[in-house]
Chain A
Amino acid sequence: MAYALQQLINGISLGMIYGLIAVGYTMVYGIIGMINFAHGDVFMIGAFVALIALLLLQLGGVMDGTAAILLMLLASVAVTALYGWTVERVAYRPLRGSFRLAPLISAIGLSIVLQNYVQVSQGARVKPVEAVLRGGVEVFREGDFAVQLSYMQMLIIGTTLAALAAFTILVTRTPLGRAMRACEQDRKMAALLGIDTDRTISLTFVIGAALAAVAGTMYLLRYGVIDFYIGFLAGVKAFTAAVLGGIGSLPGAVLGGLLIGLIETFWSAYFSVQYKDVAAFSILVLTLIFLPTGLLGRQEVEKV
């Protein structure tokens, strides 16, 4: 019981990270109808920028945990958002309107470039960092087993919720959010209503990348080790989350992320840690076969 509760906490905090990345997949898919396969690597870049920021802060003598985390987040979001913008400009925009496979190839190419760039510039070695935030609270005790909610997990859950809340307000309440929804539903018509669709698409990539940067920073803080390959694994899992939730659905992405995080955690806890990645891949395959529209995906009932 206590052990399961602990897994639940671990699963949620991991799932929130996947959810943040999944939102980026689903947003871009919604607006340009294409999977941004470089998105996992954007997350990886976010983690590396956070790492570099942390090392610089430690060099500079900033040791206060909260300040360090805030500065890492800021640096990571800023640099990664710029990456997101560049990805769209370089890899996607020139191919808009060409055959459907072209941007896909471009995305995979870009993903390889980003991975190799980081591998060469940062080295292929796994990067460990010291924990910035230690300790936690004991939630519950059963015999010898204490269920812990670490400060780090609280930070992850809190930050993720805050990022998602800000993002929800942006999409539902602001002109940019309206422009995004309009472009998603009918880009040509959006332009006829005076919406700058190119700018809207750029900003969609930027926002998706910013959320991935938050996820990357949280990942670094939580796990303490990163390498140039984390983008691929996390990317596939977040993509699975987006598909499971229903690609194109924002609440679906978060729900899917939570489910993947929980499934992976429980799978590792009760079956096999070695095969934990297999769980996510299996879910992707099963979802695609049996539930292609996902849990919250839309049933196409509209008249056209």
Chain B
Amino acid sequence: MSAEQSPLLELDAVSAGYGPVQALSAVSIRVMPGEIVTLIGANGAGKSTLLMTICGDPKPRSGRVLLAGTDIAGLPTHAIMRQGLAQSPEGRRVFPRMTIRENLLMGAETLAEGGDRSAQLDQVFTLFPRLRERLAQRAGTLSGGEQQMLAIGRALMSRPRLLLLDEPSLGLAPLVVRQIFGAIRDLNGKTGLTVLLVEQNANLALRLAHRGYVLVNGRIAMEGTGAELLARPEVRDAYLGGGAPLPPPLPADGPNPA
């Protein structure tokens, strides 16, 4: 087996949770170098927990997390992230009292001190020109969508080998979502960036990704290529709004105070 065929990231029967809550049960997934893999699932299925467990917060209760063949389960979060991972987490988590520029530079904190960051900054500004216009603005005062752009930009600053994205489309206008997805594809094509993408927007995500997993109640229920999953009736029904009944129409005389 050649080096290229061994996974960059492999979860082997990983279970995790919070106190009495068991959020992931024996989850096994693989992400090959250069792949875009997406993880879809209903609210509360455990998608964010999966991304965070890879980063060591929470730590897996059992199972192995292999990064390029080395078990990183049990390492502290900062040590894991220093091995070339970056996450744009759920809820954006920009530093509210730092400027856009400072937030972006925080993303490169794992790189050697004092290095030149202008290439990465330029890359981010090419993706999100809006951020360049507001470099000195405090991140806490940005709009939700702008914060999302900043969180993704920050994750790119360290030039990660594995990028974890938790619902990057959340709160963004459709045009910007397409732009971001286009950017992910570009980065993947040009630099071979490996991406594990959690998305509510299953339609877009499955179109973008090489492969996908469906998470149901903390377990992997299905896996396949994007096209395969898109074609599955169960996926269409549950995640693409295929079979879901439309909500009843609103009464003509406005909202009911009930």
Contact = CB atoms under 8 A, between A and B. Distances in A.
Interface of A: 175, 178-179, 181-182, 185-186, 188-189, 191-198, 298, 301-304
A87 B144 CA distance: 40
A189 B95 contact: yes
B60 interface: no
A301 B154 CA distance: 23
A182 B89 contact: no
Interface string B118-142: 0000000000000000000000111
A175 B109 contact: yes
Contacts of B102: 178
A195 B141 contact: no
Contacts of A195: 78, 109
B96 A185 contact: yes
Main secondary structure, interface of A, reads helix
Contacts of B89: 189, 192
Interface residues of B, number: 29
A197 B56 CA distance: 14
B113 A192 contact: no
B81 interface: yes
Contacts of B217: none
Contacts of A188: 57, 93
A194 B109 contact: yes
B95 A186 contact: yes
A194 B95 contact: no
Contacts of A186: 93, 95
A301 B96 CA distance: 10
Contact of B109 (A193, A197, A301): A193
A146 B110 CA distance: 58
A159 to B, nearest CB: 30
Interface in B140-196: 140-142, 144, 147, 154, 158
A304 B96 CA distance: 8
Given A181-B95, A185-B96, 7 more contacts: A189-B89, A191-B81, A192-B57, A194-B81, A298-B97, A302-B96, A304-B96
16 contacts: A181-B97, A185-B96, A186-B93, A188-B93, A191-B57, A192-B77, A192-B81, A192-B93, A193-B107, A193-B109, A194-B82, A194-B158, A195-B78, A197-B78, A302-B96, A302-B97
Contact of A189 (B76, B93, B97, B140): B93
A184 to B, nearest CB: 8
Contacts of A298: 97
A294 to B, nearest CB: 16
A235 B246 CA distance: 64
B110 A193 contact: yes
A192 B97 contact: no
Contacts of B57: 188, 191-192
A182 B95 contact: yes
B95 A175 contact: no
Nearest to A195: B78
